[in-house]
Amino acid sequence: MDTLFNASAPCITVAATASALTAVALPAGSGNAIRIVNESADIAFIALGASNVAATLPTSTATRTCTPVPGNSDIIMRRDTVSELFISTICRATKTATLTVQIGDGGK
């Protein structure tokens, strides 16, 4: 059986508000998968990248800085272990969210 995350997988908590969060370092670990749990009812948007990454709200123009994390849910996705070392978050105006971010291995 493949295991993406174990009980000792490193994790952090980050807040999402109407202003893009200054990039925060992802938890230490070389795992190529990331799990993001949105503990709040409001949708949040995230971006992964270098220390200058900034999340944005989606618009009619496609961009890679607004991955949605639906409220009261979680997403698991692959990450580039070399270039995606930081996370930034944002919510729509008047909305907030608390996200728990965990690094794991993609089904080794």
82 in a domain, yes or no?
yes
pLDDT of residue 99: 98
31 in a domain, yes or no?
yes
- Secondary structure class of 7 (helix, strand, coil): coil
Model confidence band, residue 1 (pLDDT cutoffs 50, 70, 90): very low
2 in a domain, yes or no?
no
Identify residue 80 by its one-letter amino acid code: D
Instruction: Note the pLDDT tens digit of each residue in 30-77.
Output: 789 999 999 999 999 999 999 999 999 999 998 999 999 999 999 999
Domain total in the chain: 1
pLDDT mean across residues, the chain: 91
Identify residue 81 by its one-letter amino acid code: T
Domain holding 78, by residue range, is 11-104
30 in a domain, yes or no?
yes
Query: Domain holding 68: CATH number?
Result: 2.60.120
Q: How many CB atoms lie within 10 A of CB 74?
A: 14
How wide is the angle at C-alpha 38 spanned by C-alphas 35 and 95, nearest 5°? 145
1 in a domain, yes or no?
no
pTM over the 0.95 mark: no
Q: Scan for tokens 């978050």, then name that residue.
A: 89
Q: Scan for tokens 């270039």, then name that residue.
A: 83
5 in a domain, yes or no?
no
90 in a domain, yes or no?
yes
